[in-house]
Amino acid sequence: MREFVEAAAKVRPVLERNQAAGDRDRRLTDEAMAAMRDAGVFRMFVSRALGGLELDLHTAVAATAELAKGDPSAAWVVMILNQGDLLTGRFSEDVQREIYADGPDTHVCTVLTPRSTAQRVDGGWRLNGEWFPASGCLHATWALVGFPLAEADSAVAAVPLSELRIKDTWFTTGMRATGSNLMVGEDVFVPDERVLRLADAISGTVAGTAPRHRTPLLPTVLSYMISPYLGTAQAALEHVVAQADKRPVSFTSYQRQSDSPVFQVALAEAAAKIDVAGLLARSCADTADGASSLDYLTRARVRLHAAHAVRQCGEALDGLVAAHGASAVSESSPLNVYLRDMQTALRHAMISPAMSMEVFGRALLGVEPNITPLI
């Protein structure tokens, strides 16, 4: 849907204008959130029956990458909240109607790591715990939180944000405007209908019926996760290219960076890495959207490719910063934002290249059990 991607691209100036304020206040501004909501980017994966768009992954990745060009933190929040919609679509239709009672732009944040305790009670569960980092929680009205069912088994609970407390803990070098604070739940009752076994969500044995929510969960999530990294690297390349005729190569006779073969090669190498990341994003999207189920090795391969795409984006940005020069770290330079946000985002555990290679290597060799169920 080219029109949708173009609509997302038109939000870029608003995000650029609000980036510094979001970075300072450690949350996205109301203007930035409203502009993205008006472009429809918060309903990409909501069921059509509930007013959503159920977009294909190619469109979602491309649109979210455009947002990252304006503000990587904004794209990250969109990505996380839309992943919440992907998981919400695995609940029953009654639960989905409850969550989206106020419309398809309802925000659902997600923290699957089960840092909590759960007690079985009549009709449901009582949860006590802390969930962190909760990107997008400052704008969400619902949260999907993980909790342990038994040894090596966990579940996801849908909880209204009004029943949780947010602690202001997100003081970081980058991705500051994501507001990825800590959520605290104390004696929170969750009825059985708002509880979903994580294994069922991953395997696809769930209640959701919309086509968008019948694709393999983790390959879909990981394919989409590439988008903020890709857009950030693309924006950095645009900036460095645009400045190349205006900047000399320090301590050389080159008055323009664009005349330097070393600089030319550095840009070509960065562009190649970004192209590889884009190709892998499209390949992962094709794989995830092209089947209602995938074999174990294919799912592990998608995780490997998603992590490799992200690493290519990080390496490309590092090369661009080195080629551009020391002014990249100036607070007035867009590269400073891209660098800080990229370095922070690269630390997300789900996209760790080392862990993803181990996951795939074990799957390729048939070594069981694997190190994570998130495949």
Task: Quickly count: other Cβ atoms within 10 Å of residue 55's Cβ.
Answer: 22
Question: Would the CATH topology of 2-99 be identical to that of 110-203?
Answer: no
pLDDT at 65 exceeding the cut of 70: yes
| Per-residue model confidence (pLDDT) at position 349 | 93
Q: Please tell us whether the domain made up of 215-365 is placed in CATH 3.40.50.1980.
A: no
Q: Please tell us whether the domain made up of 2-99 is placed in CATH 1.10.540.10.
A: yes
pLDDT at 211 exceeding the cut of 90: no
Enter the DSSP assignment of 109.
E
Beta strands of the chain (E only): which ranges? 108-111, 116-121, 124-134, 142-150, 153-160, 165-167, 181-191, 195-197
Span 44-50, average pLDDT: 97
Mean pLDDT across the chain:
96
Note the pLDDT tens digit of each residue in 182-205. 999 999 999 999 999 999 888 876
| Per-residue model confidence (pLDDT) at position 290 | 78
Note the pLDDT tens digit of each residue in 99-120. 999 999 999 999 998 789 999 9
pTM: 0.97
CATH class of 110-203: mainly beta
Say which residues have a Cβ less than 8 Å from residue 337's Cβ, sequence separation at least 6. 19, 23, 71, 72
DSSP strand pairing (142-150 vs 108-111)? parallel
Per the DSSP assignment, residues forming a β-bridge with 191 are 124
Contact 143, 187 (CB under 8 A): no
pLDDT category of residue 207 using cuts at 50, 70 and 90:
low
Output the CA angle 162-163-164, nearest 5 degrees: 95
Q: Helix or strand or coil: residue 61? A: helix
| Per-residue model confidence (pLDDT) at position 221 | 97
% pLDDT > 70, the chain: 98
Enter the DSSP assignment of 13.
H
Alpha-carbon torsion angle 185, 187, 191, 194, nearest 10? 10
Note the pLDDT tens digit of each residue in 138-153. 999 999 999 998 777 8
Task: Quickly count: other Cβ atoms within 10 Å of residue 336's Cβ.
Answer: 16
pLDDT at 17 exceeding the cut of 70: yes
Rounded to whole angstroms, how far apart are CA atoms 139 and 105? 11
| Per-residue model confidence (pLDDT) at position 105 | 97
pLDDT at 41 exceeding the cut of 70: yes
Contact 320, 236 (CB under 8 A): yes
Q: What is the DSSP string of 192-237?
A: GGGEEEHHHHHHT-SS--SGGGGS-HHHHHHHHHHHHHHHHHHHHH
Note the pLDDT tens digit of each residue in 227-270. 999 999 999 999 999 999 999 999 999 999 999 999 999 999 99
**Domain chopping of the chain, boundaries:** 2-99, 110-203, 215-365
pLDDT at 208 exceeding the cut of 70: no
